[in-house]
């Protein structure tokens, strides 16, 4: 992992864990995602885990041995968060996590398997937790894979049986012209985490989102 701390960041500051997409690296995501600007502006640390699985450096959100509590990549990322929190004297109650594409899918893994570590999460062009059969990426990406909110939520609750503590708030972002990850995954993610958090799938309000310039959006 790599860590960025703005100059003079005081003890007890919050942090954001940022997970890159396939074919990217932690350094590329740090350089191109824009997170440093906001870390400097608002005063928080950044933690950048890096996937190193060849050939595409994808986080293994679809491998059974990497998405459960206490094993594989999920455990490794959890250990990075704990190490950084202790070493850099961060506030353990204000750790958020975000990810893009495969990193977004791995963000769903982390909030399912380690809900106690995170205050909030942002899933960008990601996929629901346990949406694909083991070792298969195409089923969900090309999708859609459709389940009821209750069934989606049960998969998250099953990641940490018996957990009764607070769960992180989840923000879901998915472009409606996404040609890499089927846009239906945004709807299924909504169903999964509204069920987990005990919220209605019907929005309290709706509004159009602003359109970003292509140069501001990191490639996956």
pLDDT tens-digit profile of 73-116? Answer: 999 999 999 999 999 999 999 999 999 999 999 999 999 999 99
| Residue of 101, 136, 171, 200 with catalytic role | 101
Query: What are 44-58's pLDDT values in tens digits?
Result: 999 999 999 998 999
Q: Is the pLDDT of residue 143 over 80?
A: no
C-alpha span between 50 and 30 (Å, rounded): 11
Q: Is the pLDDT of residue 69 over 50?
A: yes
Q: Is the pLDDT of residue 192 over 50?
A: yes
Show the domains of the chain with their CATH numbers: 2-203 (3.40.50.1820)
Q: Is the pLDDT of residue 213 over 50?
A: no
Active site residue 171: no
The predicted pLDDT at position 142 comes to 85
Residue 67: both structure tokens together: 């998405």
Average pLDDT over the chain, rounded to an integer: 92
**C-alpha atoms less than 13 angstroms from C-alpha of 53 in its C-beta half-sphere:** 14
Q: Is the pLDDT of residue 219 over 50?
A: no
> How far apart, in Å, are the Cα atoms of 166 and each of 3, 81, 163, 198?
26, 18, 9, 12
Query: 10 Å Cβ neighbour count for 157?
Result: 15
| CB distance 18 to 37 below 8 Å | no
| CB distance 164 to 116 below 8 Å | no
Query: What are 117-140's pLDDT values in tens digits?
Result: 999 999 999 999 999 876 566 788
**C-alpha atoms less than 13 angstroms from C-alpha of 133 in its C-beta half-sphere:** 3
Span 52-79, mean pLDDT? 95
The predicted pLDDT at position 133 comes to 72
């Amino acid at each position: 992992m790599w860590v960025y701390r703005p100059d003079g960041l005081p003890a007890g500051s919050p942090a954001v864990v940022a997970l890159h997409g396939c074919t990217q690296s932690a350094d590329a995501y740090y350089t191109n995602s824009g997170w440093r600007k906001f870390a400097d502006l608002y005063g928080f640390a950044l933690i950048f885990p890096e996937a190193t699985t060849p050939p595409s450096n994808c986080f293994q959100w679809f491998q059974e041995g990497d998405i459960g509590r206490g094993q594989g990549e999920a455990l490794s990322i959890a250990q990075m968060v704990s190490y950084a929190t202790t070493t850099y004297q961060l506030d353990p109650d204000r750790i958020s996590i975000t990810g893009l594409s495969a990193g977004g899918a791995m963000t769903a893994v982390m909030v399912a398997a380690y809900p106690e570590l995170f205050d909030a999460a942002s899933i960008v062009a990601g996929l629901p937790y346990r949406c694909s059969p083991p070792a298969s990426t195409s089923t969900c990406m090309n999708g859609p894979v459709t389940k009821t909110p209750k069934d989606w939520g049960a998969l998250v609750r099953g990641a940490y049986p018996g957990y009764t503590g607070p769960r992180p708030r989840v923000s879901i972002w998915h472009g409606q012209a996404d040609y890499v990850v089927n846009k239906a995954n945004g709807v299924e993610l909504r169903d999964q985490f509204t069920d987990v958090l005990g919220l209605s799938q019907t929005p309290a309000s709706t509004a159009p989102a602003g359109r970003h310039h292509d140069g501001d959006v990191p490639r996956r």
